[in-house]
């Protein structure tokens, strides 16, 4: 049984304990860097590309009496080379020592991985001089035993970065009373398809459309001239007068309900002008609150206009 000093500080064995230890692994290109960002933003002590044989030593430091680390996330993957096969044994050692941990395994389809490597022009760590496809095959064989040990397996195929962040937070982050909700404002164009995974969608196609003004068409809603045009007849101010009180009511309700992430999508025709201007305004306004994490995503703003 732990004891507590007069100052309220926990002493004894309770102090020498990790509240959460997450081992992040999986295939290269599946989103491990994004996962690290999620845990880092949540206040975890994060270490990337740590060989398995060094994990136990680092955990021992975390458990040392002077350590202040209570939550940690460690990425260990095929970049560890010849040392990586030791990972299963390391997990067994941690379990035998009574160190609780969770394994997060990130995966993606071969087509998705090939596309991502093509876009980034990076070499695969297991095939630096050969084909990316060969490296993917070698890596799958290497990490497959860890998939069975994983508490959570996330397939990032088809997920954009902000979608993956949200999914990881919902799956992996502890729900505590002091966890700040993440609010995403996403602009999009209806002609390019609906906003997937949005919790709330607002259609703002009733506002004046800058697309039909030759001098404004190449611009986006980030430009003050576009904002001025959208607001020219007063309907934008009327919209904000109704929308802001609604969001001021809804957001605390979702927080109280325990929702970790909320995505509000703003849609116009092409996703370049009206929706962008409004998403920018709402993001700035809600970042001033300070009690939630606000992210801004413009899905279609950089598409070329016809």
Token pair belonging to 186? 């996403």
- If we measure between CA atoms, which residue out of 197, 185, 208 comes closest to residue 269? 208
- Superfamily of chain region 3-172: P-loop containing nucleotide triphosphate hydrolases (3.40.50.300)
Q: Where are the domains of the chain?
A: 3-172, 182-298
Contacts of 114 (CB under 8 A, 6+ apart): 132, 133, 136
pLDDT tens, residue by residue, 7-64: 334 333 343 477 889 999 998 889 998 999 889 888 899 999 888 888 988 998 888 8
pLDDT score at 82 = 58
- Extract the runs of DSSP E, i.e. beta strands, from 192-260: 200-203
Give tens-digit pLDDT for 61-71. Answer: 888 877 888 88
pLDDT value of residue 128: 66
Q: Are 221 and 279 in contact (CB under 8 A)?
A: yes
Percent of the chain exceeding pLDDT 90 equals: 43
pTM greater than the 0.85 cutoff: no
Give the residue with greater pLDDT, 34 vs 197.
34
pLDDT of 287 > 80? The answer is yes
Does 175 score more than 70 pLDDT?
no
Q: Tell me what pLDDT residue 185 has.
A: 96
């Amino acid at each position: 049984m732990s004891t507590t000093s007069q100052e309220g500080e926990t002493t004894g064995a309770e102090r020498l304990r990790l509240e959460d230890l997450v081992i992040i692994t999986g295939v290269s290109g599946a989103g491990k860097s994004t996962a690290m960002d999620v845990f880092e933003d949540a206040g975890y002590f994060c270490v990337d590309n740590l060989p398995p044989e060094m994990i136990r030593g680092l955990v021992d430091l975390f458990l040392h009496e002077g350590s202040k680390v209570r939550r940690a996330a460690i990425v260990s993957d095929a970049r560890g080379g010849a040392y990586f096969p030791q990972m299963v044994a390391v997990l067994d050692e941690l379990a035998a020592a009574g160190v609780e941990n969770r394994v997060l395994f990130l995966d993606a389809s071969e087509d998705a991985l090939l596309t991502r490597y093509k876009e980034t022009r990076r070499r695969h760590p297991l095939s630096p001089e050969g084909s990316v496809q060969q490296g993917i095959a070698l890596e799958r064989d290497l990490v497959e035993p860890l998939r069975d040990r994983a508490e959570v397996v996330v397939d990032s195929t088809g997920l954009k970065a902000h979608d993956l962040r949200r999914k990881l937070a919902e799956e992996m982050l502890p729900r505590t009373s002091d966890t700040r909700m993440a609010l995403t404002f996403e602009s999009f164009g209806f002609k390019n398809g609906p906003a997937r995974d949005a919790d709330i969608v607002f259609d703002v196609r009733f506002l004046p459309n800058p697309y039909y003004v030759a001098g404004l068409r190449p611009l986006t809603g980030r430009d003050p001239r576009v904002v001025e045009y959208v607001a020219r007849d007063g309907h934008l101010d009327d919209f904000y007068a109704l929308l802001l009180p609604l969001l001021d009511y809804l957001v605390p309700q979702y927080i109280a309900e325990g929702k970790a992430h909320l995505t509000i999508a703003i849609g116009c025709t092409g996703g370049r002008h009206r929706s962008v201007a409004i998403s920018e305004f709402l993001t700035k306004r809600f970042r001033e609150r300070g009690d939630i994490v606000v992210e801004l995503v413009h899905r279609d703003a950089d598409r070329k206009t016809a």
